[in-house]
A and B are shown apart, each in its own frame.
Chain A
Amino acid sequence: MENILQQTRYASLPEAGLQKQDWTHKSVVMEKFEKYDADQRGTVGEIHVADPRMTCRNVDVFYGDAHAIKDVSIDIGRNEVIAMIGPSGCGKSTFIRCLNRMNDTIDICQVTGEILLDDMNIYGKDVDVVPLRAQVGMVFQKPNPFPKSIYDNVVYGPKIHGLVQNRIEEDEIVETSLQRAGLWDEVKDRLDQPGTGLSGGQQQRLCIARTIAVSPEVILMDEPCSALDPIATAKIEELIDELRAQYTIVIVTHSMQQAARVSQRTAYFHLGDLIEVGETKKIFTNPRHTLTEDYITGRFG
């Protein structure tokens, strides 16, 4: 066991030179023991990755006076799928919405700390959220296609960002996006019909197509399969696996099986604390924090 710890510690020494600023805060990583009790908050496991795309440091989120995210630090690696799990209300959605500043739309929501996207602090003063959200796309829990045609749904993002110039390019981006989202064959004959007329699973894949049409670098997915049947879910999981080659994907899920199937790393949240992060396999086979273990073994949640 000591061995494993050593290994983790070793792996944790970051190559990217991030340690300079990182270790000031009390709670970031607890590495002393192999197992931790419920009353020990602070993050267990490996928050670092060798090649991070996004770096979150000491992130706090408040809704008015309510402290929804408490001092969370975590790296999100390039071309990895990271799953966020945890009991309902623990702040998964809140956290993921910080990553593309979607929380800006909530007046009472306040975010402090640092979130870097490729070394740019996205909460910096002069950061424009419009290109940021083009870079960090989002798929929501409930499929929310625009009440427009399937075609317009997909082409809307590229159009407003000026990624397409003419009809030919538009057609092309619609086809490739729908194909990558695995929806093309089902809708190619009715692109002019409203996107809201599709089934729930198709709608969600349409939303994914809409998101990848703007070629984001990171895709955030907040329980993308919670409204879908197992077949649609399987399709989307397959899709996530394919997308991984090009994108960084952060997925919130309530299904431990899903997290295990699609993700390489898993983060466990509990009442606003990031309790444990690590390789998915390790988290599910050998959780080190009692809270993680309790959640995974189904003792609560």
Chain B
Amino acid sequence: MNSKGNEPARPLDIIRRRLHKRYNAEKRFKLYGITAIFLSLAFLFLLFVSIIGNGYSAFQQTHLQLEFYFDPDLIDTANPAASNFPGIVKQTLRQKFPQAKKRREKKQLNSLVSTGAAFQLQDMVEKNPGLVGRTEKIWVPADDDVDMLFKGHISRDVPESDRRLSDFQLQVIETLEKERAVRKRFNATFFTAGDSREPELAGILGAMSGSLLTLALTLALSFPIGGAAAVYLEEFAPRNRWVDLIEVNINNLAAVPSIVFGLLGLAVFINFFNLPRSTPVVGGLVLTIMTLPVIIIASRASLQSVPPSIREAALGVGASKMQMVFHHVLPLALPGMLTGTIIGMARALGETAPLLMIGMVAFIVDIPTGFTDPATALPVQIFLWADSPERAFVERTSAAIIVLLAFLIIMNSLAVILRNRFERRW
């Protein structure tokens, strides 16, 4: 007890004494927040670094330059599809590397060039029949093993038995290298082709258009239906037990694992309605059912956040309920509804499990152009490639993830832009 002990403490002193405690609490809280943000940013950074680090090389592909002789004996100009273009490739290689004597060596030699080379030659002849009989220097894609060698995933120093390329194949490649006939070029195939068993011929376009078709249907169905349901429930439905029941069910549906929706789609759309399996139609319907609850919940929250004073103002001048909703409430709620929808779409874009159930996991080479063409989707393609044994599919998996992330970023930016545009108008 000091001398001041008997005097009653001034409120200001009490406040001062506790002040630094309060500030410390505040500082601590800020620190927690910053740590949390930093941690999540770090994980995000790590994710990006690892995916981009793995995936960027897939945007390049090793090509070989060879002198092809378009042998008229092997080409049927009337029907190029029936010609023996693989034979031309083999002939070219055998002439350039006559040291390949044994059957095994010939086979190894042929396997250095992608099977896509023959298709490339065929394309060229179809476009320009004048090529037949001429000799041309042409860049053709190398096999994925050669590609991996140049990207450093196959080492030249390990013993032959541990290597996917034989010593003979390495010799051939070194010869080509000396002639400057090996080069990494932009991998256009990745963006223009569908899936393939050969990594160097596999592309993302099939999965991309599959996703696009599926999402287009999902958006076209789920936004109007979800929006209408939300508006009805929020603005028009009477408050009673039935509506409560519906509300509980919607909330439950939003939490149901997506694979269950896949099973539902399989049972209802494919088995009962006999819609074609593996198609964007079914995928879109399943994803619609899956996203509807999300959109309804987000839209209702957005409708609820419109201040009641605006509703009263509208009713006060004699607007009917319908006019109040459509003239005043909806325009204010729309940005939020759109944001909810785009978030739902982003989730649908990344959804894999339900698509597996309805057969969109099939190996499909052709690029889908309609809602009833067999298709896969981006995440399913990632799943498929991640499952493939070839080393070259590892980088393609990451590249596909990059494409998916790019789409997600575009969609989310769109949400922000749309919202800002709308908000400025109001």
Contacts and interface: CB of A to CB of B under 8 A. Distances in A.
Interface of A: 100, 102, 105, 107, 130-134, 137-140, 142, 144-148, 156-157, 160-161, 194, 207, 210-211, 213-214
B178 to A, nearest CB: 73
A133 B316 contact: yes
Contact of A105 (B311, B320, B327, B426): B311
A134 B318 contact: yes
Nearest to A145: B313
8 contacts: A131-B318, A140-B312, A144-B309, A144-B312, A146-B314, A146-B328, A156-B327, A210-B313
Given A146-B328, A211-B317, A214-B318, A160 B323 contact: yes
Given A100-B316, A130-B319, A157-B318, 4 more contacts: A133-B318, A147-B310, A161-B318, A210-B317
Contacts of A142: 309
Nearest to B328: A146
Contacts of B46: none
B426 A147 contact: yes
Q: Which residue among A134, A156, A207, A210 has the maximum number of chain B CB atoms within 10 Å of its CB?
A: A156
Q: Which residue among B307, B314, B317, B327 has the maximum number of chain A CB atoms within 10 Å of its CB?
A: B317
Nearest to B238: A107
Contacts of B313: 140, 144-146, 207, 210
B315 interface: yes
Contact of B312 (A105, A145, A213): A105
Contacts of B319: 130, 156-157, 160
A134 B318 CA distance: 5
A105 B318 CA distance: 13
B284 to A, nearest CB: 36
Chain B interface helix/strand/loop/mixed? helix
Contacts of B140: none
B239 interface: yes
A290 B318 CA distance: 40
B285 interface: no
B332 interface: yes
Nearest to A133: B318
Contacts, number: 65
Q: Which residue among A146, A157, A210, A211 has the maximum number of chain B CB atoms within 10 Å of its CB?
A: A146
Nearest to A158: B317
Contacts of B318: 130-134, 157, 160-161, 214
Contacts of A102: 312, 315-316
Given A144-B309, A147-B310, A147-B332, A138 B327 contact: no
A139 B312 CA distance: 10
A47 B411 CA distance: 65
Given A102-B315, A133-B315, A144 B310 contact: yes
Contact of B315 (A105, A139, A147, A194): A105
B317 A214 contact: yes
A157 B332 contact: no
A194 B327 CA distance: 16
A188 B319 CA distance: 26
A140 B426 contact: no
What 8 A-B pairs have minimum CB-CB distances, sorted nearest first? A134-B318, A157-B317, A144-B309, A133-B318, A138-B316, A144-B313, A147-B426, A130-B320
Interface string B244-261: 000000000000000000
A207 to B, nearest CB: 7
Contacts of A194: 426
A146 B328 CA distance: 8
Nearest to A131: B318
Contacts of A137: 316-317
A140 B316 contact: yes
A244 B165 CA distance: 99
Contacts of B239: 107
B181 to A, nearest CB: 68
B334 to A, nearest CB: 12
Nearest to B332: A147
Nearest to A161: B318
A107 B238 CA distance: 9
B309 A211 contact: no
Interface in B374-426: 426
Interface string B305-346: 001011111111111100100011000100000000000000
A211 B318 CA distance: 10
A146 B310 contact: yes
Contact of A133 (B317, B327, B332): B317
Given A107-B239, A147-B332, A147-B426, A156 B317 contact: yes
A139 to B, nearest CB: 8
A145 B313 CA distance: 7
Contacts of B316: 100, 102, 133, 137-140, 211
A177 to B, nearest CB: 11
Contacts of A146: 310, 313-314, 328
A130 B321 CA distance: 9
A144 B312 CA distance: 9
A141 to B, nearest CB: 9
Contacts of B426: 147-148, 194
A140 B328 CA distance: 17
Given A146-B328, A147-B332, A147-B426, A134 B309 contact: no
Nearest to A108: B239
A46 to B, nearest CB: 30
Contacts of B320: 130, 160
A134 B317 contact: yes
Nearest to A220: B316
B247 to A, nearest CB: 15
Contacts of A211: 316-317
Contacts of B307: 144
Contacts of A132: 318
Contacts of A144: 307, 309-310, 312-313
Contacts of A148: 426
B331 to A, nearest CB: 8
A266 B19 CA distance: 52
A142 B317 CA distance: 15
A160 B314 CA distance: 10
